[in-house]
């Protein structure tokens, strides 16, 4: 048996050190996630140590220096730790700090656990927080839309396709469609959260640990709803990441579509809406010009997010247990969620500050025969002719009016009456618009409940670890059964 | 008022005819969806006519020729209709057929409904069917994995990361991770189905119809669970499409990851598995060679699907009510689902025919010190030294063994015993693997129930329409209230 | 040595037959490319046979039946061959036809050549044709833009950012920017063509054939500019595919951006342009409505193409020589190019039929102070105050005018004079616009030259093969050196 | 005329201030580019001022304070400037600094130029630098591959498809394919550079400035090869960005494919290669394990880059002059290039440190009948039987050998002799491999020449500006023709 390829001897790392190209492209990438993972890594470490003690695998006494040192780190901010890519990822830097503080006792931290497990736990904790934030921002955005939909439930507006005026409707009905769409993102965020809320802890390498760690207890310690069903899946699968970023991208796309519309509606040619001054930007060259800058920020952000999602999907196409699909994921997923949160938040500000111009909307509605289909319908129903025939009659009248330079039919139609007659569920009549808007107002209870629960779990864990550290004298001895039941070593 | 840009006069279409470039790039694209939409368009037409009669907007007598002609079309196959891009999309071709059969009476079909509404209904019906198929194939794939996981629950296998042997596990545990992942796709498909199962009917242009059509009744007639909450949203939003294609892509990515692994595992160097002969392909040049062709089909398909999803996402970034994001969507979404279905199905065949080579897996496991971490753990726990110290001791022993050309430590470890000691939830011990596998077996009840319900709804609708056509004599007169309550026309 | 995994025995294929899932997902996919590859496969076969004879590896006599049969197939259309996925890809179906016609003599076709090599050659030939078509359509599109730019070089138009009127310009200058962008795509198509124009023939498996085939001669026979530099690279690399689809996508994106603008400009609110009637579509419900359908076709197509490119990129992320990145590529690449060609062609039709509304453009320009920056500039230069100060003065005047309900400054500006003063290279003055437009008119000489050359090479190859078949009596004997120089077999 | 939507009055910005959501999502995004643009903005400012003086639009005297202040800023590092998102983008922060230093004189900077123009120039300068770096790293990577290809030109290696051993080849031939592919990226980088090397300066808003700035001189001042052909295109088109990121992604995909292979080849099962220790990483849990970490970094990076490119493409689908496609682009494009540079650099380190295991490669080659096709070829040629028949004979012999547990045919083949017989261009024979490798070694002259030229141009510009500042006393008066030729104002 020759030395297997890739095997470098136990201390090879020390002898050779990482190549500068590796530090620059790899470790730096991972160290960039340190701030994201910082809190979670401390919690993962604490929970692991508590679990080891609870499982009687180690005594509190044995690991008291380590427990105290980790507790100390849990109170620090990321910038207080010397996260340095020269030594690897955030976990490695933390290990170095512990080693320098308490020497070999730090080595107990690695018993029965991979660096990866700590990272995965920390990441899922961070991901939960981001999903909660996203949920909240979506509810704010949706509620702002619902408010405005109700406010403008009677504002006549020409619905259009291809930007060609189509039929009479209201600006409130228009806005309500976005509120409805926004609501659907909440279910997506919840589904992504469900995945993030499962604890991958106790996975050993990927096949589970031999230590007597109770995975359900460990999950509870960390404030997760439950352990993952399968250790290897919990350690390696990335489908949950895709769900999270898809939810974020979908939410951003809703804001984007609104922004695409509003940029057109805010043009002087349309003049439908005005953005709040605080969301616009002056030109340095042109004194007459104020640009709806917020809308471009939203639209570019949504496009960028589509790319982020694609990158994740592309990278997901890889064999199992190969790390390439996880190496970039922490930063990419968190960055994507943060970007989406900023965009949804900005979208909310846009909606809240929106000033519709009633006259401009009315003018377009009245000058482009948007009641023509209703007229044809009336004709068909009154004279009992088929709709296509009625359509042709009205079509000819419209053509004739254009030729004679007239922008309305005779007798003129009361467009608002036509809107009011649209009384079906989810239709444009003001009552229906208001009814729908009321149904769209969501509280962020879901998010607040989880935020509170998660914070409490965190506090409980730290308290539990502190108490453990204080009470180590009283603890019973370790179970003596190790060697017999699991070990292969002699006494 | 001058002729507005884009306005061509009522009969412009007839005079000019579409440009050949438009037929080639636009109408042909839409006609390509004819087979997909064919059945649904007939149902949408029937439901619309039944609704009109039920709402007393038309009498059965008035539309009997149309009702009969549409019933006749509902019994035909797509190839029996002359779908011709010269006349526009599938709807236009159907209109032409009706017109040629029954003349102007065909014109009643358009009363209170857009072409788009018919298409959207037909598409959602087709999408539901595809999602049901996908669901079923995923359950089959997952069950095949669960069967194999159970079958190989005791087959020693070296779990690895970066393809480097890591720790002892079983091939069953490995396969179980994919089963677990597969199950999660079911929830995604269900979520996508929920969207598809809402009826956009009764939307008028997008603001709802003035006709007395009950949207809930219309939804029920068509076998949908309920109408969409908001007419404009139901007509234009594409987030549900993205959900469907994301679910399909995620499912394909699971099969892909398995295929990525298996292509490596099937190499003679690994020799872990053999594919069934029916999934391989001979070389035309090299007589010794049989290629695991099925795996390449799966992997390329998953990559292609990522692109399909991206295309959909990219196109979704558009203003509202602009049709570019829907024009290609029917074909793209259906094509993506069909591709995913084929891939998942092929994945199931791969799993079912998989022949693991027990000896080859055992050999790798025993020659690469995969029990080293367990040994270090034993050392730490027996001698109460920290794990890092134990790790270094074992590391030196491994290095020493390599140098002396020995591939195992002394005394040798019983790797299977190490696996059996991994007894936590979702861990690699055979009992846990079997327990997990049993939990992964899913029936496709969800899918079958929906398939049955949908078929029954279809039959009921056709029966309802037939009965209507037969009973028209007995029908009461139309309500006389039209002109008073809604119309603007005189008597 | 046990039977290696994946090895099924020489006749396994016959015994087992392909799984239906494999036929459906794999062979059908490949058979779908039959029409695309049909011509090229015949040429590849002919060139291979001619090369074998020229290299004295076989005598014409030996392969005359095969040569004649292949010549016969070269004259047929794809639909005349029974391309059947049950037997594999297009190559397999052709093999079956030959086998049924001439029996074992068909077996000579595989001497020294893989199925893959034939496919790669056929694909590059098809790709060249598509790139030539794309090139031509881009020149047409660019010339149409240049024509219109020149035609409207004096048409006042308010350039805008964020759709907010910015500065005076002309509609011709606006259109010229697209012409300029279109030209750049030609270089991209040429670069992609250069790759496609290299012959992968003579690659053997991937390491080159032992037969005395001259790769340069073979390339010339097939009308390629030269052989690929490296056999394995020529067989497997996909970067050239990405270039081709990127060029196509970039071209489509230019048309898309124009279509995005025009859909807004064609709205009645803007009223800047009118599309030709032959590119619009009537509404079935709304008699007053004509939709700029062509623009939606273009925009959705561009988004779809971005997805196609992404799919290709995603699939390109794979180990070498693994086929997943090639299996779908033939269809995806060709489909992408065809889609782009249709879109660019439609874009040309849109430009040719564009009717700008001079008055509407002038009105917007004059009502939104687009000369304000010029006024501030004048102030700065006349009174020698810094521009920021001048900007504030004008800004206040504009604000004041708005407040007083005046839409122009006093004295009024001659906006066209301001445009005419923009005389720098590529600027908006009519002379510069015309100068630029003239420079943008490209002939499609590049494309026509290649089309002619390629057609001539094709004819020469067929003639060469025909002559060979007729002259076989006169051919000299085979070189006798085989066994000595290359073979390992005894006499 | 009412106040147009979006118009806020000249001092609205001061009164309202930007919304915090806008600062967070928009200005912060732009400020993040400050370091990237810092140098270029100073150069753009200097060139603009020099151009104004050269065009006699301002006297040096008038702008001396500004010129000196900008020269001062040109000597500072990004961290020396208070780039603060509260005030907008980097340009705004610089404006603030100038304003605070020299008061109103700073206002001359905006004469005839938009903020955007300065940004575009700075970005193209930065992009050029990054493309030069990328070019250099690709040449290094390609040369490393060529070196290794030559070094291993005689190392027997079984070429494979689907990871199934196919035919005898050499490891040098394998590596040469990657060198060949790498070379093609250089042309892509050059094409992208050509776009970046055109100066958008002098564009005014987008229609060109009225000032007498010579765009060609301005381009030369800044070290660009020439001005863009069209002002609006030069300001807004993003196709060049896509070229740059496509080139970077393509380069990364080549490194990725190599890394995909090597990760498999480095597995103990294959044992083909060993990575240098400095590119591997130890496991914290498993003492026997060293992971080829560099390869995962490369592979994940390539997938991430595909997403970056997609994001850019998605965002490019937007109307013209709308800024969403440029807002994120500076950071996204620069970040993508930097990522690609890191990956290519790491790829070079991987290749340089690659240790092939000759025995392992030989073993696989000799145990899987990779000479079978050559044997069939020999049979066909010696016995003049068609290849398909010969193939069947050999196939049966191989099957028979497997059944009898024999891994080689009798008589055994000299596989290296078979390789040596592959003497065609680009084939696997050692001589051809060496010949090809020599052709692949590229100098980075192209890059070095441009780097030098660009640095010299930079120095010249600064010197020119310095001299101007010193010589202002001697300058002639301004031309007096302004008011007459361009202005609309009276005296």
Structure tokens at A350: 């846009």
In terms of C-beta density within 10 A (0-12 exposed, 13-18 middle, 19 or more buried), how is residue D15 classed? exposed
D399 contacts in chain C (CB < 8 Å): 9-10
- Nearest CA among D408, D404, D405 for reference residue D394: D408
Q: What is the mean pLDDT of residues A414-426?
A: 97
Query: CA nearest D408 in B: which residue?
Result: B288
pLDDT value at C442 more than 50:
yes
CA distance C398 to C390: 12
Q: What residues of chain D lie within 8 A of the CB of A210, using their CB?
A: none
Residue B15's pLDDT is 54
Q: What percent of chain B has pLDDT over 90?
A: 87
What ipTM goes with this model? 0.94
The dihedral built from the CA positions of residue A265, A267, A271 and A276, taken in this order, carries a sign that is positive
Per-residue confidence at C15, pLDDT binned at 50, 70, 90?
low
Element at D176 (helix H, strand E): helix D171-196
Contact A162 B320 (CB under 8 A): no
Q: Is A120 on the interface with B (CB under 8 A)?
A: no
> Cα separations (Å) of B157 from A1, B368, C285, D278?
20, 12, 66, 29
- Retrieve residue B172's tokens: 């069953």
Mean pLDDT check: name the lowest of A26-40, A277-291, A416-430, D336-350. Answer: A277-291
Min distance D148 CA to chain B CA atoms (Å): 24
Q: What is the mean pLDDT of residues C78-83?
A: 95
- Contact assessment for residue B189 and residue B247, using Cβ atoms and an 8 Å cutoff: yes
Lowest mean pLDDT among A466-480, B197-211, C263-277, D54-68: A466-480
Taking CB atoms and an 8 Å limit, are D164 and B290 in contact across chains? Answer: yes
State how far the Cα of B482 lies from the Cα of B210, in Å rounded to an integer. Answer: 10
Contact D291 B391 (CB under 8 A): no
Q: Is the pLDDT of residue B432 over 80?
A: yes
pLDDT-derived band at B2 (thresholds 50, 70, 90) equals very low
Mean pLDDT of C378-391: 96
| pLDDT the model gives residue D443 | 83
Q: C-contacting residues of B 356-385, CB under 8 Å?
A: 357, 360
Which residues of A are less than 8 Å from D290 in CB distance?
A: 6-8, 12
Mean pLDDT, to the nearest integer, of C397-402? 90
**Residues within 8 A of B (CB atoms), A 264-283 only:** 264
D chain contacts of residue B165, beta-carbon cutoff 8 Å: 268, 288-289
- Tell me whether A403 touches chain C (CB under 8 Å): no
Nearest to A288 among C162, C291, C368 (CB): C368
| C141-163 tens-digit pLDDT | 999 999 999 999 999 999 999 99
| Count of alpha carbons within 13 angstroms of residue D140, beta-carbon side | 18
B/D interface, count of CB pairs below 8 Å: 132
The pairing of strands C226-227 and C198-199 is parallel
Cα C71 from Cα D11, distance rounded (Å) = 80
The residue with greater pLDDT, D285 or B12, is: D285
What residues of chain D lie within 8 A of the CB of A10, using their CB? 287
Q: What is the DSSP letter of B198?
A: E
Residue of A30, A311, A334 best to disrupt the D interface, most CBs of D under 10 A? A311
Best D161, D286, D328 member to test B by mutation, with max B CBs in 10 Å, is: D286
| Mean pLDDT across chain C | 92
Q: Residue D323: which of A296, A323, A343 has the nearest Cβ? A: A296
Question: How far is A286 from C168, CA to CA, in rounded Å?
Answer: 12
**Is the separation of the CB atoms in A328 and A123 below 8 Å?**
no
- B310: which chain D residues are within 8 Å (Cβ-Cβ)? 310, 314
Average pLDDT of C265-292? 93
Task: Determine the pLDDT at residue C326.
Answer: 97
pLDDT interval class at C88 (50, 70, 90): very high
On the question of pLDDT at B9 being above 70, the answer is no
A291 — contact with chain C (CB < 8 Å)? yes
Give the lowest-confidence range in B127-141, C389-403, D137-151: C389-403
A38 contacts: CB under 8 Å, gap ≥ 6: A77, A78, A81, A90, A122
Q: What is the pLDDT of residue C180?
A: 98
Is the bond preceding A96 in cis, omega lying within 30 degrees of 0? no
- pTM (predicted TM-score): 0.96
A40 CA to centre of own chain: 18
Question: C413 CB near a chain D CB, below 8 Å?
Answer: yes
pLDDT digits (tens, 9 = 90+) for A452-483: 999 999 999 999 999 999 975 455 555 544 54
* Predicted pLDDT at B8: 40
Indicate the DSSP class of residue A208.
Answer: -
Task: Give ∠ CA D337-D340-D345 in degrees, rounded to 5.
Answer: 125
Is B321 within 8 Å of chain A by CB? yes
* Least trusted range by pLDDT, from A219-228, B430-439, C410-419: C410-419
Q: How high is the mean pLDDT in each 10-residue block of chain D (491 residues)?
A: 39 65 97 97 98 96 97 96 95 96 97 96 98 98 98 98 96 98 97 98 96 97 98 98 98 98 97 96 87 97 98 97 96 98 98 97 95 96 96 93 85 94 98 97 91 98 96 54 49 42
- pLDDT tens-digit readout, C238-254: 999 999 999 999 999 99
Q: What is the residue-averaged pLDDT of chain A?
A: 92
> D24: helix, coil or strand?
helix
Examine the pLDDT at A491 and tell me if it is beyond 90.
Answer: no
Please give the average per-residue pLDDT across A173-193, as a whole number: 98
Contacts of C356 in chain B (CB under 8 A): none
Q: Is A387 on the interface with B (CB under 8 A)?
A: yes
User: CB contact, 8 Å: B286 with chain A?
Assistant: no
* Yes or no, beta carbons of B184 and A176 under 8 Å apart: no
Does residue A480 sit at the B interface (CB-CB below 8 Å)? no
- Inspect the interface and report whether the beta carbons of B268 and D398 lie closer than 8 Å: no
Q: Which residues on C lie below 8 Å from A162 (Cβ)?
A: 263, 291-293, 295-296
Q: Which of D79, D80, D83 is nearest to D94 (CA)?
A: D83
pLDDT of residue A16: 66
Indicate the length of chain B as a whole number. 491
pLDDT of res. C476: 52
Q: Are B355 and B274 in contact (CB under 8 A)?
A: yes
Query: Is the CB of B424 less than 8 angstroms away from the CB of A202?
Result: yes
Determine whether the interchain pair B269/D364 forms a contact, defined as Cβ–Cβ distance below 8 Å. Answer: yes
Chain C interface disruption, residue of B14, B87, B277, most C CBs within 10 A: B277
Instruction: Give the separation between CA B71 and CA B225, rounded to whole angstroms.
Output: 24
* pLDDT higher than threshold 50 for residue C480: no
Structure letter (DSSP) for residue C104: G
Contact D342, D349 (CB under 8 A): no
To the nearest 5 percent, what fractions of chain A are helix, strand and coil? 65, 5, 30
Which of C5, C21, C360 faces B346 most closely, judged by CB atoms? C21
What was the pLDDT predicted at B406? 87
| Interchain proximity B308–C306, CB inside 8 Å | no
Is 50 exceeded by the pLDDT of residue C255?
yes
CB contact under 8 A, D386 and C209: no
pLDDT in tens, C423-440: 999 999 999 999 999 999
Mark out the alpha helices in C414-481 (DSSP H runs): 415-420, 430-440, 445-470
Residues A225-247 have pLDDT tens digits of 999 999 999 999 999 999 999 99
Peptide bond into A411 cis (omega under 30): yes
Q: D touches which chains (3+ CB pairs under 8 A)?
A: A, B, C
Residue C402's pLDDT is 86
pLDDT tens, position by position, B326-354: 999 999 999 999 999 999 999 999 999 99
Give the per-residue pLDDT at D300: 98
CA separation for the pair D468, D483 (Å, rounded): 26
Q: How would residue C2 be classed by pLDDT, with cut points 50, 70 and 90?
A: very low
């Amino acid at each position: 048996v020759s030395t297997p390829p890739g095997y470098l001897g136990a201390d090879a790392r020390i002898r050779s050190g990482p190549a500068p190209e590796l530090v620059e492209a790899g470790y730096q990438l991972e160290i960039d996630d340190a701030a994201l993972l910082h809190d979670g890594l401390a919690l993962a470490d604490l929970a692991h140590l508590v679990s080891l003690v609870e499982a009687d695998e180690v005594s509190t006494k044995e690991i008291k220096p380590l427990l105290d040192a980790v507790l100390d780190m849990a109170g620090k901010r990321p910038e207080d730790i010397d996260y340095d890519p020269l030594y690897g990822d955030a976990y490695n830097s933390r290990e170095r700090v512990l080693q320098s503080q308490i020497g070999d006792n730090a080595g107990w931290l690695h018993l029965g656990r991979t660096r990866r497990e700590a990272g995965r736990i920390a990441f899922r904790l961070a991901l939960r927080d981001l999903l909660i934030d996203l949920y909240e921002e979506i509810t704010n955005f949706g509620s702002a839309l619902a408010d405005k939909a109700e406010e403008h439930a009677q504002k006549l507006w020409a619905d259009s396709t291809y930007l060609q005026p189509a039929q009479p409707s209201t600006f409130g009905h228009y806005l309500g469609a976005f509120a409805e769409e926004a609501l659907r993102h909440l279910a997506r965020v919840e589904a992504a959260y469900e995945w993030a809320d499962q604890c991958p802890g106790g996975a050993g390498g990927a096949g589970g640990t031999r230590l007597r760690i109770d995975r359900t207890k460990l999950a509870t310690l960390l404030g997760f709803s439950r352990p993952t069903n399968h250790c290897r899946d919990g350690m390696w699968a990335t489908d949950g990441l895709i769900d999270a970023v898809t939810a974020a991208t979908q939410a951003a796309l809703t804001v984007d579509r609104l922004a695409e519309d509003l940029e057109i509606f805010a043009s002087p040619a349309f003049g439908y809406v005005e953005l709040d001054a605080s969301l616009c930007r002056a030109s340095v060259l042109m004194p007459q010009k104020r640009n709806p800058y917020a809308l471009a920020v939203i639209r570019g952000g949504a496009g960028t997010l589509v790319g982020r999602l694609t990158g994740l999907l592309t990278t997901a196409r890889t064999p199992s247990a190969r790390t390439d699909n996880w190496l970039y994921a922490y930063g990419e997923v968190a960055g994507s969620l943060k970007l989406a949160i900023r965009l949804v938040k900005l979208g909310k500000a846009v909606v809240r500050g929106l000033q519709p111009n009633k006259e401009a909307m009315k003018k377009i509605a009245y000058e482009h025969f948007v009641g023509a289909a209703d007229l044809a319908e009336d004709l068909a129903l009154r004279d009992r002719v088929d709709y296509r025939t009625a359509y042709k009659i009205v079509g000819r009248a419209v053509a004739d009016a254009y030729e004679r330079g007239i922008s309305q039919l005779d007798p003129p139609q009361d467009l608002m009456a036509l809107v009011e007659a649209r009384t079906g569920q989810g239709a444009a009549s003001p009552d229906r618009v208001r009814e729908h808007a009321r149904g769209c107002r969501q509280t962020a209870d879901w998010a607040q409940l989880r935020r509170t629960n998660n914070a409490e779990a965190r506090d409980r864990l730290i308290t539990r670890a502190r108490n453990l550290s204080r009470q180590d004298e009283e603890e019973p001895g370790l179970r003596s059964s190790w060697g017999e039941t699991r070990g292969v070593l002699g006494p």
